[in-house]
Structures are given as C-alpha cells and as structure tokens.
Amino acid sequence: MSYDFIIIGAGHNGLACAAYLAKAGAKVLVLERSMHVGGGCSTAEATLPGFKHNICSVVHTHIPTSPVYRDLELERHGVRYVYPEYLRGTIFPDHKSIVMYREPERMATELSKFSARDARTFTKLYEDYGEFIESTYLPLMYSPPLPPSLQSAELEKSEEGRTLLQWQASTPVQLLDELFESEEVKVHFLSRLTVLGFAPDQFGQGWICLFRILKAEAPICVGGSQQLALGLRSVVEAHGGVVQTDMEVKRILLRGNKAIGIELKDGTRAEAAKAVVTNVEPKKSFLRMVGEEFLPPSFATRVKNYHSHGRSLFVLHLALSEPPQYRAGAHNPPVNVAFSQEMFGGSVEEQVRAYQEIAMGRPPRKEMLQITLPTLFDRSQAPAGKHTAVVWQYAPYSVEPGGPEGWRNLREEYAAHLLDLWRSYAPNMSRDKILAVAIQDPTDTERHNDNLVNGVDVVGDMTPDQMGYFRPFAGWSSYRTPVEGLYMCGGYCHPGGGVHAGAGHNAAAAIVEDFKLKKWWD
C-alpha cells in the first residue's frame, strides 16, 4: 500500500501531526519503534499489578485548552482531564509552605503570609501582564516562531513591553530578586522558572517565565498520560490512517534531494508519495537516517551542535497503601491535596548550588524534590484505596565516577536517601506504607525512549540558543528541512519539549500549506 505521508515516531507530536493530515484527507502511516504509542506519554504497571505509573509526563498543562484538543475532538476520542483544586505546594525545611492558587486574590493572600510587599507585587504583575500572558502565550505556541526582530519591535512599543525585553535578558534569579523580597517567595517561584531545565543563574530565559509565575494549571489525563496518545491514535485511525508499533525506521530513502520513503530495521520499505515527517530528535533523524553526506554541510554542522546537556530527572515510581501526610499540612491543609508537593530547600542559593553540582556530575544530596500522586485526582490509576506516587529529583545524566554507567552503583543508595529526605517532610511514609518502588535513573529514561537524549525531558536543551526562532536551528524553525519532502514535527522544534502537541500542530500547518491540502482548522 502506498501512503501520502509517513510519520516516523508515535510520540504525541507525531500522532497529532498525523491526525491533522489524516483529517485533511491524506493517506497517513505512522511507524513507532516501541511496542506502544506515546513516547513521553506512556503509562505502565511499573511496580505492582493495577498500579499505573506515568513513566515520563504526568501533567499536560496546555493540552485541554489547546487548539489541538478542540480541533481533533479529543474528548470524543476518550481523552479527559481533571483539574486539581490546589495547584502546587512548596514546602520549606521549617515546614512552612506556599500553596499555589489559580485565583490571583487567593494567591496574593497566600504570599502575604511571607511578605505583604510581595503579595502586592504579585497582584500588580497580574494586573499588568495577566491578560497579556493569557492572550499571547497559546497563540505563540501554536504558530511558527516569530523572528526576534518582529517580537522585539512589538514589545518596544509600550512601557510594559520594554520591561519584558529587559527581563528577557536576565537570569531567573535576577528577575526574582527584582520582583520579590521574601526568600520563601523567591524559592517557590524559582522552582517554577527552572521547570524546563533552565539553570537559575543562566541568562536569557525571557519573559516567558512570567507565565510560570502567573499561571500554574495542572491538568491530569484520566487513566494516565498514555490516554492522550491513545486518543490521538484513535483520531488518526478514524480518518483512515494507519499506526504500527514495533516498527523501527532505520533509513529515510532519498531520490536525489527528495525524501521518498523509509526503510525499516528489517529491510522492509514503504513509499511516501508526498513527504516523510520525523518526530525523532535531530541527530538520529539527520545524521543516522538521512546521512551527513546528503545534507548541506552548514546544516549538518547545526545538527551536530544541537545539544542536550541540561539536567535530567531521577524518578521513583511508588505504590502506596495511603497518601503522604505532610507536617506542613498541619498549618496549611491544602498542601496535602495539591497537585504536587515541591521541596527545594530554604534558599535560592541552595538551588543555584544544586544546579552547579548537577553540571559537575554530582547528584544533589539536598532535596530538589517534586512529588505527585495522580491517584488523589483520578482513582482509576490504582486499586481501590491505594495510591501511586511519582518522585522527581533533579539529577545529572552522567555521574562522577563512572559516567552514565556510574548510576548502576549509585541508584539504590540514592533512592533510599531521597525517600529518607521525603520522610522528614511526610513522616507517615514509613517503609510499610510503600508497597513497591521502581527506580528510573536518567539512563533508564533514555533506554525507555532514546528520543530523550541524555534523559533530557524537553528533547534537547531549552536554552536561548535553542528556543523559538532558533529551535532546532537558526534558519530552520519552519518545520521544513533542506531535504525536499522531509519535515520535522518533534519537541526539538518550536515551541519545544513538554506535552502540548505544538510542534505536531505547527508542522501539519506547514505541510498542508506546501501540498495545498485543505486546511480544515482555524
């Protein structure tokens, strides 16, 4: 059978792109290397039967409000989200805490426990920028990136815009120092600003970090994150597309400078009449599947320079007989039932130092912990009365001594250390309450999905040189490539890693335009 488009990889971006193209009437084939669709949206019984664990993504911040959810009618395809009432709780070593609320007034009241001035600053920020963030953030994500000159020209026009341009150039720590006075308030927001792996003292994260100060929705996919991928697959199939798992693409076939199909690991070939679209990160897609000799040298150099050196996550999947009760909950009960509990020490300096340790290959001994219990909000993810928890600690991929392999000697002790740290905040989490533990160090994450090179969750560092107009490479942020009929649609493209399907959506728009297909969505 021949297809119009072959999509390599059934991550949520590949599936979203395929769904848009299939709905446009194209014949689409999606080939996935692993046994399951979803990539970073995968759910598995990693500890005990009946306990569903999200191996990578847990929260899909933008999906339920995205054009993708609406356009593809994902709710009709079984994708539903629940919204925890309390968004996040930051717990400090003295067991004080800050709970994040979606209502700005409640958020300001919460901050006023630490500083009346910071509460006023937050309210002012919300008044000045809340509407701006609301109205620009999603449109910017679900369209190709603007050239920096255009973006700056818009911002230069107003006082607020000029302030944003200055913040654009600063570090997260500088921004927080400028805005807030309380150390606790800074610690709370700093952990939000670094969520995409951006180091606290790194320049240039940009005004986008305001989004993370002002907004903090935490929608959880009912049934586990993989339900999103299954829903997307269902859309593809409902429109005549074919999705095949256990199919590793080895080569992209070329005729001259045109991609004409693929070859699988077992030698089977499939033809794409119109184009091949790759969900797979740049080095594998271009250097391995296409071949450097078929690329313009300047492009090949850019591919080689694409980097994934940032921090990774050390993950524990837990099966629990009861949920944790935090000491902090005695003074601030919503902490216990917030989407996540985050323990990042008591000072900004500690977070800066932890990032420096990670850069030197030392897993931090101090807590950089985020704990989530999806079962507090979706009972379907564990047997009755029981819970699953995921523990994330920021960590390096390569450790000293031993490099990545060094984790083999370290992982058990490090896991035990983190559980002890956690217990100091949640004393009821004694060993008998933890029914089973599955350890996932950064090398396991990469083994699970080698699209996440070095276990970097956002498919290549989201640093200023690899964001927006520069993602994945300067001059190539339109989802097109120098190979005719070869397109990019993964999290290594704008708007980056994470689960929002922005790259899949935007790539589909570029492809539909190039092939003059019916653009059936807005």
Ligand X SMILES: Cc1cc2nc3c(=O)[nH]c(=O)nc-3n(C[C@H](O)[C@H](O)[C@H](O)COP(=O)(O)OP(=O)(O)OC[C@H]3O[C@@H](n4cnc5c(N)ncnc54)[C@H](O)[C@@H]3O)c2cc1C
Q: How far is the CB of 72 from ligand X (least distance, A)?
A: 15
Is 491 a binding residue for ligand X by CB under 6 A? The answer is yes
Is 32 a binding residue for ligand X by CB under 6 A? The answer is yes
Q: How far is the CB of 96 from ligand X (least distance, A)?
A: 26
Among residues 441, 384, 370, 50, the alpha carbon closest in space to that of 224 is found at 50
Is 64 a binding residue for ligand X by CB under 6 A? The answer is no
Site for ligand X in 249-268 (CB under 6 A): 249
Q: How far is the CB of 172 from ligand X (least distance, A)?
A: 19
What count of Cα atoms within 13 Å lies in the side-chain half-sphere of residue 134?
8
Q: How far is the CB of 252 from ligand X (least distance, A)?
A: 10
To the nearest 10 degrees (0 to 180), the angle between helices 159-169 and 116-141 is 90
In the list 24, 59, 87, 389, the residue contacting ligand X (rule: CB under 6 A) is 59
Is 459 a binding residue for ligand X by CB under 6 A? The answer is yes
Among residues 409, 411, 431, 410, the alpha carbon closest in space to that of 420 is found at 431
- What does DSSP assign to residue 496? -
Is 31 a binding residue for ligand X by CB under 6 A? The answer is yes
Q: Which is nearer to ligand X, 119 or 209 (CB)?
A: 209
Q: Which is nearer to ligand X, 97 or 451 (CB)?
A: 451
Is 458 a binding residue for ligand X by CB under 6 A? The answer is yes
Among residues 490, 498, 447, the alpha carbon closest in space to that of 472 is found at 490
Find where tokens 């009821």 sit: 428
In the list 282, 457, 469, 477, the residue contacting ligand X (rule: CB under 6 A) is 457
Is 33 a binding residue for ligand X by CB under 6 A? The answer is yes
Element (DSSP H or E) covering residue 151: helix 148-155
Is 12 a binding residue for ligand X by CB under 6 A? The answer is yes
Tell me phi and psi for residue 356, to 5 degrees. Answer: -65, -40
Is 231 a binding residue for ligand X by CB under 6 A? The answer is no
In the list 29, 91, 275, 313, the residue contacting ligand X (rule: CB under 6 A) is 313
Is 79 a binding residue for ligand X by CB under 6 A? The answer is no
Give the list of residues 6+ apart from residue 364 with CB closer than 8 angstroms, or none.
Answer: 354, 357, 358, 393, 394, 395
Q: Which is nearer to ligand X, 16 or 119 (CB)?
A: 16
Q: Which is nearer to ligand X, 165 or 410 (CB)?
A: 410
User: How far, in Å, CA of 373 to CA of 283, rounded?
Assistant: 35
Give the list of residues 6+ apart from residue 109 with CB closer than 8 angstroms, or none.
Answer: 119
- Written as six digits, the tokens of 300 are 């090949």
Q: Which is nearer to ligand X, 111 or 280 (CB)?
A: 280
Is 228 a binding residue for ligand X by CB under 6 A? The answer is no
Site for ligand X in 492-511 (CB under 6 A): 497-499
Contact 239, 19 (CB under 8 A): yes
Q: Which is nearer to ligand X, 80 or 117 (CB)?
A: 80
SS3 334: helix
In the list 89, 490, 495, 502, the residue contacting ligand X (rule: CB under 6 A) is 490
Strand 242-244 versus strand 28-31 pairing type: parallel
User: How far, in Å, CA of 367 to CA of 394, rounded?
Assistant: 9
Give the list of residues 6+ apart from residue 199 with CB closer than 8 angstroms, or none.
Answer: 310, 311, 352, 355, 359
Site for ligand X in 266-295 (CB under 6 A): 279-280
**In this chain, which stretch among 3-11, 232-240, 253-261, 422-430 interacts with ligand X, using CB under 6 A?**
3-11
Element (DSSP H or E) covering residue 488: strand 486-488
Q: Which is nearer to ligand X, 110 or 342 (CB)?
A: 342
- Sites of contact with ligand X (CB under 6 A): 8-14, 31-34, 39-41, 56-60, 248-249, 279-280, 313, 315, 445, 449, 451-452, 457-459, 490-491, 497-499
